[in-house]
Amino acid sequence: NAGVMQNPRHLVRRRGQEARLRCSPMKGHSHVYWYRQLPEEGLKFMVYLQKENIIDESGMPKERFSAEFPKEGPSILRIQQVVRGDSAAYFCASSPSGGRDEKLFFGSGTQLSVL
């Protein structure tokens, strides 16, 4: 029973390039959450998605960042025109149905480094 799968594990981009981070939730889970973690800090909520629907994007920067969770395939977090400040670990989590007392299961993260 595979857990939450994220790829790539490490991603290096130059300033101005695009970064695409992928997340496949646990089998049977239909809700995906993206978090960002800077070194020595906690996880900051970015966006919460259900298949084909963004539920809450209140933590997403207004520009350059977007997320999707299509009917088929993984959830994608897309960062356009990356800057050095985007360097961080990005974690995806999933839950079965988004209920208020459902625990989140996390992937191993994607470490984004912007040169």
CB 78 within 8 A of CB 19: yes
Nearer to other proteins, 10 or 15 (CB): 10
- Provide φ and ψ at 84, rounded to 5°: -60, -35
CB of residue 81 vs other proteins: minimum separation in angstroms? 27
- Which residues from 59-88 bind other proteins, rule CB under 8 A? 59
CB 84 within 8 A of CB 54: no
Nearer to other proteins, 14 or 99 (CB): 99
Please give the span between the terminal C-alpha atoms of the chain, in angstroms, as a whole number. 36
Q: Is there binding between residue 56 and other proteins (CB under 8 A)?
A: yes
Interface with other proteins (CB under 8 A), residue total 28
**Burial code of 91-109, b = ≥16 C-beta within 10 A, e = fewer?**
bbbbbeebeeeeebbbbeb
Nearer to other proteins, 25 or 107 (CB): 107
- Cα–Cα separations (whole angstroms), residue 14 to 17, 68, 90: 6, 23, 17
- Using CB under 8 A, pick the residue from 34, 48, 65, 69 that binds other proteins: 48
Residues that bind other proteins (CB under 8 A): 4, 6, 31, 33, 35, 41-45, 48, 55-56, 58-59, 91, 93, 98-101, 103-109
